[in-house]
């Protein structure tokens, strides 16, 4: 019997959540209201620590606001890994600041913090690491560097809701920590994002940045402090977030089990480069292996097609940022960050989402081995 197509990611929305959303839809309160406040309170309780959380329409919107709150603007330099989704650098460029790309580690896929000092100049104002695929960066080293060089830190934690560093949730400490709730992420609000900060003034500014720059006085009268954005979350989305947050630790526990199954099934297979295993704090947003497509004389789209023919969806996260047109034309060179360039060429994302079974993992690995075996044979004929 033909098995159903296995996508590389799939959100899990349960009946309880659908019923709760229906109630919100019937309530008449659809824009930001009590559910947004409740979702923010739930995130504060989940993260722990003495934190303020504000939610918004996406991590992209959140990263841009966080940079603005940190005072980043024209001509400032912000250090960012060369391997991430383009949004990580786009938000810097949109503020007319300059992204300074630093290379990554081949296995953790995280920014190589040893290379950061050489990238710091008198114009450097902030560092924006990415907890890639849910594996936290070395936070002691990161905040040590930031303190030594008086840099703000905007953590791109788009992949890292539920991740922990030394037993502490990402977002329970740190300067400005930005999560994504896009449908592919470990929890979703359809689209959405959140910022966690320990700074009450920053939280107040974020409220203004996300809603027209509006501040109300003690009488409820509106004033506009600056031209803010329009990036507030709806109560419908917030209700989904409340339900997803309730299930997040369960989702992430299953993600860890599935990652473990991948490591078992791929043990001894030399056809791919595996990611770092991390520890129990890794939330396994994605499981990615590297394949030397050039040596196999196979393109990545061909590989994706052959896997799709076997019913397996394969993602690509991501091309390196300096390889993208806008950045190439701005003068960045992929060769300057060679590890990110290699990962950008060779990375493939295997299916990983909580509803997957252990058998699904074996199906993926069998297909992977069959497709790669075929490619080696083809290239030697
Ligand atoms: C590392 C990283 N940063 C930022 C974003 C942007 O997130 P959003 O889609 O919520 O704007 C993404 C989205 O995939 C991402 O992967």
Q: What is the pLDDT of residues 154-213, one digit of tens each?
A: 999 999 999 999 999 999 999 999 999 999 999 999 999 999 999 999 999 999 999 999
Same domain? For 115 and 174 the reply is yes
Determine the atom of ligand 1 nearest the C-alpha atom of 132.
Answer: 1
Instruction: State the total domains in the chain.
Output: 2
Q: Are residues 237 and 142 in the same domain?
A: yes
Question: What is the structure's pLDDT at 2?
Answer: 76
Tell me, yes or no, whether 281 and 224 share the same domain: no
137 and 267 assigned to the same domain: no
Q: Is pLDDT above 60 for 74?
A: yes
Supply the residues annotated as catalytic: 185
DSSP state of 196: E
pLDDT in tens, 15-47: 999 999 999 999 999 999 999 999 999 999 999
Q: How far apart are CA 343 and CA 241, in angstroms?
A: 32
In a domain, 7, yes or no: no
Q: Is residue 361 part of a domain?
A: yes
Give the residue numbers spanning the domain of 155: 15-242
Domain end among 183, 216, 242: 242
Distance CA(255)–CA(262), nearest Å, equals 11
67 and 22 housed in the same domain: yes
Compute the distance from residue 220 Cα to the ligand 1 centre, in Å.
35
181 in the same domain as 89: yes
- Tell me the CA end-to-end span of the chain in Å, nearest whole number: 33
Tokens found for residue 155: 């953590």
pLDDT-derived band of residue 381, with 50, 70 and 90 as boundaries? very low
CB 23 within 8 A of CB 35: no
For residue 76, how many C-alpha atoms fall within 13 Å in the half-sphere facing its CB? Answer: 19
Which protein residues touch ligand 1 with a CB less than 6 Å away? 58-60, 84-85, 87-88, 130, 156, 158-159, 180, 182, 193
Q: Render 61-83 in DSSP notation, one character per residue.
A: HHHHHHHHHTT--TT-EEEEESS
Q: How does DSSP assign 145-159, residue by residue?
A: HHHHHT-EEEEEETT
CA 85 – ligand 1 centroid, Å: 6
Tell me the CATH number at 330.
Answer: 3.90.1150.10
Residue whose CB lies within 8 A of the most ligand 1 atoms, among 9, 84, 85, 185, for a mutation test = 85
> With b meaning 16 or more CB within 10 Å and e meaning fewer, what string describes 165-177?
beebbbbbbbbbb
Computed over every residue of the chain, the mean pLDDT equals: 97
Two structure tokens written together for 216 = 């109300």
């Amino acid at each position: 019997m033909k098995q159903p197509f296995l996508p590389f990611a799939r959100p899990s929305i349960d009946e309880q959540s659908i019923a709760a959303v229906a109630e919100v839809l019937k309530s008449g309160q659809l824009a930001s209201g009590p559910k947004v406040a409740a979702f923010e309170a739930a995130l504060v309780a989940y993260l722990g620590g003495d934190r303020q959380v504000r939610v918004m329409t996406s991590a992209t919107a959140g990263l841009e606001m966080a940079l603005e709150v940190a005072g980043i603007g024209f001509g400032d330099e912000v250090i960012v890994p060369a391997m991430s989704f383009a949004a990580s650098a786009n938000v810097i460029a949109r503020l007319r600041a300059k992204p300074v790309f630093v290379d990554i580690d081949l296995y953790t896929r995280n920014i190589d913090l040893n290379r950061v000092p050489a990238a710091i100049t008198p114009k450097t104002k902030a560092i924006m690491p990415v907890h890639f695929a849910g594996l936290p960066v070395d936070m002691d080293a990161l905040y040590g560097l930031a303190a030594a060089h008086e840099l703000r830190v905007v953590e791109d934690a788009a992949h890292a809701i539920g991740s922990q560093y030394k037993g502490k949730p990402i977002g329970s400490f740190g300067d400005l920590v930005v999560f994504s709730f896009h449908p592919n992420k470990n929890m979703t609000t359809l689209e959405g994002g959140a910022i966690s900060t320990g700074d009450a003034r920053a939280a107040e500014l974020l409220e203004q940045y996300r809603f027209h720059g509006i501040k109300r006085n003690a009488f409820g009268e509106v004033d506009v402090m600056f031209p803010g954005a329009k990036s507030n979350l709806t109560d419908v989305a917030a209700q989904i977030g409340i339900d997803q947050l309730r299930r997040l630790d369960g989702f992430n526990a299953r993600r860890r089990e599935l990652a473990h199954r991948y490591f078992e099934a791929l043990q001894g297979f030399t056809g791919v480069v595996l990611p770092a295993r991390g520890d129990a704090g890794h939330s396994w947003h994605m499981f990615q292996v590297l394949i030397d497509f050039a040596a196999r004389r196979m393109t990545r789209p061909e590989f994706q097609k052959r896997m799709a023919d076997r019913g397996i969806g394969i993602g690509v996260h991501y091309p390196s940022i300096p390889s993208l047109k806008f950045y190439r034309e701005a003068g960045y060179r992929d060769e300057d960050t060679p590890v990110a360039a290699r990962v950008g060429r060779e990375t493939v994302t295997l299916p990983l989402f909580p509803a997957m079974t252990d058998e699904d993992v074996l199906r993926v690995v069998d297909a992977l081995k069959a497709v790669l075996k075929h490619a080696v044979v083809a290239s030697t004929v």
